[in-house]
Structure formats: C-alpha cells, structure tokens
Chains A and B, each alone.
Chain A
Amino acid sequence: NAGVTQTPKFRVLKTGQSMTLLCAQDMNHEYMYWYRQDPGMGLRLIHYSVGEGTTAKGEVPDGYNVSRLKKQNFLLGLESAAPSQTSVYFCASSSRGKATDTQYFGPGTRLTVL
C-alpha cells in the first residue's frame, strides 16, 4: 500500500516551459488536492477534485490547470512556467472531503523555474 505518490520528485524548468506533475493514490479516495508550499506561507490550495471528472479552484489557481480522468490520478499542469511558480508542490487525498477527515499527503515535488 503506497498511499499517495508523486512524480517527479525534483524538476528544473526554464521560464515559459510546460510540465505536468502526476499524483496517484491507492486508497480509493474521492477527494484529491494540490497544494504549494512556500517559505513562511504554509500550504496554499491550488485546485482540488471531489471525484473522477470534476475539479475546482482553490486559493491560488492562476497559472495552473488540473485533470482527474481516473479516480486514482490527479494531474497538475503548468502551461507556461514562471519564476513565481518555484515552490514545493504537495498532492493529498481524503476519503470524503470533510474537514475532519485525514488528508494523506505525498512526499512532494520540488520545482525550480529559472
């Protein structure tokens, strides 16, 4: 049981390049989330999904797109990377999406945009 996995672990992009981050969970959870973590700012929600085929905007969605074609996968895309998107990205999942549910986090992807 791997829980939540993220691919890749590290990535360096040049400004304007695109990339996709992959998140996979094997717990059959309905809800999945993408966060970014910057020094001194905690975790900020980018987008989330309440089920297969559905996505919604979080607190900081600009410059990112997401897709949830399969229940176990949640993809985060950057179409034209900017230095301001340098951050550590975390994916999480929870069973029902209630605030009292446990969110299970992946190990993170460290992205640097030059």
Chain B
Amino acid sequence: TQLLEQSPQFLSIQEGENLTVYCNSSSVFSSLQWYRQEPGEGPVLLVTVVTGGEVKKLKRLTFQFGDARKDSSLHITAAQPGDTGLYLCAGDPGSARQLTFGSGTQLTVLP
C-alpha cells in the first residue's frame, strides 16, 4: 500500500494568517486530489493536479504538485473561519488501483 502522510495533523490559527499543509509520500502518484470535509458532512473535491510541478489556484488557495509527483502542498492566504475543516489529499497509485487517502489535516481558523 502506498501511504500518503499529511502534516501537520492539527493546525489552529487566527483569521488573516497564512498557512501551508503538506501531503508527502515515498511513492510516485499519477495524480493527486485535495478534498475538504466539514463536520458532519462528506469530503468535497477542491482540486486535481496531474503534472509534476503543477500549480493551481482557487481564490485564496494555492495547490502545488511536487516535481517528482511524490508530494503536494496546499497554501491558504489570509485564512478565514470558513476555511475551517479537515483537508484530505488523495493520490492515484496507478496500475488500476483505487485512490489512496491521507489521514488529513484538521484546520481551525479562529475569528
């Protein structure tokens, strides 16, 4: 099983601060997705990255896929309380295997 490790596991910051969370593996993934999950709900897809070195921006969120396709990061600028949630990365290990999910980063943005 190809593992995805996310760090930090928990992050609590004040509104307006910037933050970066990480998704790392020792294995190569064909593509990688980021999901956000709010309490009592299922995960919702934020972005899919497929090319090594790719950077995608979604308003205040910036996603980067590592050059070697073994890691990814999510940077949030000027965090807001609405950004609070569990951020999950999910990678495609290839060979027709199903997505592998990381354990998540629980983000709390305090007003």
Contact = CB atoms under 8 A, between A and B. Distances in A.
Whether chains A and B associate is yes
Interface of A: 4, 33, 35, 40-45, 48, 58-59, 90, 92, 99-100, 102-103, 105-108
Interface of B: 1, 4, 6, 9, 30-31, 33, 40-45, 48, 50, 88, 90, 92, 98-99, 101-104
A88 B101 CA distance: 15
Contacts of A48: 98
A43 B4 CA distance: 11
Contacts of A100: 31, 33, 48, 50, 92
Contacts of A59: 1, 98
Given A59-B1, A99-B31, A45 B43 contact: no
A107 B42 contact: yes
B50 to A, nearest CB: 6
Given A99-B30, A99-B31, A100-B92, A42 B104 contact: yes
B31 to A, nearest CB: 5
A43 B101 contact: yes
B69 to A, nearest CB: 12
24 contacts: A40-B9, A41-B103, A42-B101, A42-B102, A42-B103, A42-B104, A43-B88, A45-B98, A45-B99, A58-B98, A59-B98, A92-B42, A99-B30, A99-B31, A99-B92, A99-B99, A100-B33, A100-B50, A103-B43, A103-B45, A103-B99, A105-B42, A106-B42, A108-B41
